[in-house]
Structure 1
Amino acid sequence: MELDLRKKGAIPLNEHPDFSEQGYEVIRELGRNQEGGRVTYLANVCNSTQQVAIKEFSFADANIDWLGLKAHEREIEILQRLNHPRIPRYVGSFEAPTSFYLVQEYKNAPSLASQCNFNPQEIKQIALSILEILVYLQQQVEPIIHCDIKPENILVDEQLNAYLVDFGLAQIKGVKMAFSSLVAGTPGFMPPEEQLGHSLSEASDLYSLGATVICLLADTRSVDIRKLVDDNYRFNFQKLVPQINPRFKSWLMTMVQPHWKYRYANAAIALEAVKPIEVTGNATAIEILMTAIKFRKQTTMFVLAMIGMFAVAATTLILSQQGGVAQQLEQSQCQSCNL
């Protein structure tokens, strides 16, 4: 009833719900997803200095009832499996007639969507931080795929420590979601296989992270990220960030390859690949050549074939020259014997 009145304007938005019976005192609203029927509050735990984030799933609208119900059930199931310092831990949950509330540890850090002007090196540090979280998720007995990595779901503190939030769309790899057709990630950040309804893998979250890094490098808002993607799901951002090292561009383009087979297989491999790469600066001639070779599988196969052909030709030439020299020596020795 309170939610219905609030939507109609009878209750001001600055008057927050009373959770004192559940042991929480709301401080302020942290965020709102009107379409998804979700509101997140910052609250104090009564008789304690601990602060928590309380996510409200509203079921007042029949159109989002099923989505909200399954989202919070799945998020609780996933969070109860996890224990990572940069994933807000599950604290508890409670219900109301038209809503469900999920209580999590509060991280005092703004989202990437509310921040800007990161330099390239800082962006790389944020990417490394998220990759470390993905390595943890993917190394679970049953690997977990977040399915909604984007600037809004990444919190970053002043030390550039990144926190991954909102596991409402997360999936356990190999577990069939009966309602998967009803949920989806965010356009522009979803990998093509998710948009096409195919099975997801560890490489799926890499695409979303790559899109997030591109979004930051190009200083583009999340809602405008699709402007950088063509009809073949390929990102065109190079002109927006000309100062980026070609090796880093190559790593990034591998992250967002339209076909998952051409991306890094998992977060651990992607993390090790990017660690030694400088984000800015010029690459050597050899690095530029290697970047060009790695950019496409087709190019790689063509170059390898050409190298093989040149190697065979060179070997044949050397052997033929050696044969000619040997024949000349033999003839010279015969002539010496006759003399």
Structure 2
Amino acid sequence: MELDVRNKGTIPVIHHADFSVQGYRVIRELGRNHADERITYLATDCKSQQTVVIKEFNLANETIDWSGSKAYEREIAILQQLEHPRIPRYINSFATSKNFYLVQEYKNAVPLGTKDNFSPAEIKQVAISLLEILVYLQQQIDPMIHRDIKPENVLVDEQLNAYLVDFGLARQQSAKIALTTLSAGTPGFIPPEEQFGYALTPASDLYSVGATLICLLTNTQTANIGYGGLKFPKLENHFHPSFRSWLWRMVQPNWKDRYPNAASALVALKSIPVTGKASVSEILLAAMKLKKRTAMLALAALGMLAVGLTTLVFSQPGGATQQLEESQSLIDIK
């Protein structure tokens, strides 16, 4: 970094990347991913004067997956299929000798990870907005799984509208996942089924959403969330029992114990208060549901037992099956 010493003191002079040949003027650096050596810039399209985001990929660090495509190629392919007001759209791309650049629509919003003053009600609003995006992704002909939802990849504007970014790990549900990208997300936000190489489902992204909300509700940094919820901090008692129950269901280790998809999680969340205590009627209703569930499980067990006994009786030599066959033979003879 050069220093300007024309005046008293020293003033650092920052050199931005020059994309004037490609038709863009860099305004400032938005973020830097040191692990992947990626830089994101805020820039202006010199022709349209549109504000855009330019995402840099280091060509030397980009690995090829089973299909022969690189991360930026997969991300472009995914973004070109999507059209949602809260998913920044793909605009353009270009390459230099060392790097590849992806140009996207700019949204006047900041990452959730940079804010820590949300009220519980505001967090619920953000959660609803984020789940609405997932509903859209999961309603595609081949449902889309983002695979990297965390506070840094969710932007929020002044009206608490959520925006989902960074589709570098996103996959269609039917697509194969290369071994090199298994558990390639952020520790603590990766659903357990992905860690162990099992198939992903629409419930997989819900785990990441739940972990993200826990970060916001407990002012916990992304790095302090542990694998499999082992380090999930406790929620304070002022959160409503129904909301806590909803949230813990989102981060259940077994995907079958979570909500099956974003649509069902969204419907459940909308009617749940975030803070306060459960009323007597709510407690009674929960008890009735628990009792009903227990009764249904008992009936299911009795049903399975009855089927087993019936099969046993009919399969025994000289049993009911043989007796029925003998009776039918006598009728036929007569």
* 1:136 matches 2:175: no
Q: How many pairs are equivalent?
A: 289
Shift in Å, 1:263? 0.6
Counterpart of 2:279 in structure 1 is: 284
Counterpart of 1:15 in structure 2 is: 15
Give the match's secondary structure for 1:186. coil
Counterpart of 2:118 in structure 1 is: 118
**Distance between the aligned counterparts of 1:152 and 1:206, measured in 2?**
16
CA deviation map 1:167-205 (0-9, x unaligned): 001011111123554661111111101111111110000
Look up the equivalent residue of 2:138 and give its one-letter code. Answer: Q
Shift in Å, 1:228? 9.3
Shift in Å, 1:305? 5.5
Give the match's secondary structure for 1:66. coil
**Distance between the aligned counterparts of 2:205 and 2:289, measured in 1?**
21
Contact 2:228–2:253 (CA under 8 A) maintained in structure 1: no
Give the match's secondary structure for 2:256. helix
Give the match's secondary structure for 2:77. helix
Shift in Å, 1:98? 1.2
CA deviation map 1:236-274 (0-9, x unaligned): 523xx2110101111111111110001111101111111
Look up the equivalent residue of 1:56 and give its one-letter code. Answer: E
Q: Which runs of 4+ in 1 moved over 6 A?
A: 292-295
Shift in Å, 1:229? 2.8
Look up the equivalent residue of 2:280 and give its one-letter code. Answer: A
Gap runs ≥5 in structure 1: 7-11, 309-339
Give the match's secondary structure for 1:169. coil
Shift in Å, 1:290? 5.0
* 1:255 matches 2:236: no
Shift in Å, 1:281? 1.1
Counterpart of 2:309 in structure 1 is: none
- Check 1:19–1:292 CA distance in 2 against 1; reply closer, same or farther (3 A cut): farther
Gap runs ≥5 in structure 2: 3-11, 301-334
Contact 1:18–1:26 (CA under 8 A) maintained in structure 2: yes
Contact 1:53–1:105 (CA under 8 A) maintained in structure 2: yes
Look up the equivalent residue of 1:99 and give its one-letter code. Answer: N
Look up the equivalent residue of 2:51 and give its one-letter code. Answer: Q
Query: RMSD between aligned alpha carbons?
Result: 2.7
Identical-residue share of aligned pairs (%): 58
Give the match's secondary structure for 1:197. coil
CA deviation map 1:124-179 (0-9, x unaligned): 00000000000000001111000000000010011001100000010111111235
Shift in Å, 1:303? 5.9
Contact 1:67–1:183 (CA under 8 A) maintained in structure 2: no
Counterpart of 1:147 in structure 2 is: 147
Contact 2:151–2:222 (CA under 8 A) maintained in structure 1: yes
Contact 1:181–1:197 (CA under 8 A) maintained in structure 2: no
**Distance between the aligned counterparts of 1:150 and 1:237, measured in 2?**
19
